[in-house]
Amino acid sequence: MAINKPKGTEDLLGEDALTWVYVRDVAESVFTSYGFKYLEVPMFEQVDVFVHGLGTATDVVRKEMFSVYSPDGYAKISEGRADELKPDQRLALRPEATAGTVRAVVEHNLLEQGGAPVRLWYAGSMFRAERPQKGRLREFRQIGAECFGTADPAADAEVIIMFMRFIEQLQLPRESVRLLINSMGDDQCRPAYRESVAAYMREHKDELCEECQRRIETNPLRAFDCKNEACHKIMEDAPRITDALCDDCKAHYEQVKHYLDSQGIRYEEDPRLVRGLDYYTRTVFEVQVTDGLGAQNAIGGGGRYDKLVETIGGKPTPALGFASGFERIALALEAANAPLPVPAKPDVYVAVAGSEVSAASFDLVQKLRDNGFIVECDRQNRSLKSQFKLADKCEATTVLVLGPDELAQGVVTLRDMLTHDQKTIAFADVIQELEHVLGYDEDHDHECCCEDDDHECCCDHNEA
């Protein structure tokens, strides 16, 4: 019986694997310039980290977490003694990385009194037991960043701008990207707002879906996210948070917008933008793409979560961050025809004619790789003809042939796969000759001829 990958997972192969590395590299280069340091937190944590971090009313915690048990813990579960599990035996695969990052910041005491803000970013797999669909997997990859220790609206604007620069660097066309922002208020103003939304929903209870009827008492603001058409219509006319913000929240929000304006960042205010998780305060944002993703069009989002650090056992600490979904970014890049990395072609293919030159060819291949060339070599003792075919197939334009005659004379044959021209090179000259043939020895400091117009240029620096 063939064994298949689990439902809702993907093998990252070929260009998809390259795209993941590429998107992560772009994130690293942008985030580093904003002072963010890379971290990795465990793939699984105590369930309590997520329960405290995300709230028990969220779908993620209620029904989407994969539990992890040690054999000991599993035995207790299967014997119906789940209540005997200690907290460190109740584990779950991370459904997101913010809670774990906060746990790490608290555990390692990274927030010194009077110290600078702590800026961290991560990239990796997250796990949710959802029904798999396009752009939504059970193991999916996220890239995100978190900033701890400042309540200043400039920090909110910086994080949003950093995310937009990341998207720009990936060359997603700006006209197909929407940045939505909102403020969700704070402890001073949100409870009253939340109650006014709940009261409004009670008036329309019969028209709401079952899930939203339940949300009235548990988490009314999540009804803004409901995909049900009827709920969506009713929530259109619900009270708006922007009308309910206290003076401090209003001033904070105005400052964030002012900083975005000052950098020419285009955004749309969306008073119905409510992040699904309980811990958000004040600024929230979401970035959507208009092409290629259908209904699952958000490629990233985040906001401020000033209450989260104390929820996970730290001192009260203002903080904010975002996460973005790699799979959706990849779909958007593809839909936008954005430039993506392609697999590297070999510089040279080494063809081996006969087993008596195996050892010498092994030395040659290693020497070439140690000098920085990308080298392919068939190790299956095929005929020269089929090795040339393989060289063509992997798009090597240069082949070095080593056979008994060459070995006896201390040379290799260099074959140009495009012209089929061949020449003989002494062992000692192979590196230099290859650098020349492949154009790696060009003197880039020479006076370039492309100062003149209309001629064929000797270098390719002006092609872009």
Binding site for Zn ion (CB under 5 A): 185-186, 188-189, 209, 212, 226, 228, 231, 246, 249
DSSP 200-259: HHHHTGGGS-HHHHHHHHH-GGGGGG---HHHHHHHHTSPPGGGT--HHHHHHHHHHHHH
Helix (H), strand (E) counts: the chain: 16, 16
- Least distance from Zn ion to the Cβ atom of residue 243, Å: 12
Helix crossing, 190-203 with 210-218: angle to 10°? 150
Count other C-beta atoms under 10 Å from residue 435's C-beta: 16
Residue 121 or 224 with smaller CB distance to Zn ion:
224
Report the SS3 class of residue 393: helix
**Sign of CA pseudo-dihedral 21, 24, 26, 28:** negative
Residue 212 or 360 with smaller CB distance to Zn ion:
212
CA angle 239, 300, 20 (to 5 degrees): 165
Three-state SS sequence of 263-295: CCCCCEECCCCCCCCCCCEEEEEEEEECCCCCC
Alpha-helical runs (H) found in 318-428 = 326-335, 358-370, 384-393, 404-409
Residue 136 or 250 with smaller CB distance to Zn ion:
250
- Least distance from Zn ion to the Cβ atom of residue 234, Å: 8
- Least distance from Zn ion to the Cβ atom of residue 224, Å: 10
Residue 186 or 347 with smaller CB distance to Zn ion:
186
Residue 276 or 292 with smaller CB distance to Zn ion:
276
- Least distance from Zn ion to the Cβ atom of residue 8, Å: 24
- Least distance from Zn ion to the Cβ atom of residue 163, Å: 24
**How many Cα neighbours within 13 Å face the side chain of 35?**
9
Residue 188 or 432 with smaller CB distance to Zn ion:
188
- Least distance from Zn ion to the Cβ atom of residue 226, Å: 3
- Least distance from Zn ion to the Cβ atom of residue 125, Å: 30
Residue 207 or 405 with smaller CB distance to Zn ion:
207
Residue 186 or 278 with smaller CB distance to Zn ion:
186
- Least distance from Zn ion to the Cβ atom of residue 280, Å: 13
Distances (CA, A) of 330 to 143, 180, 224, 325: 12, 21, 27, 9
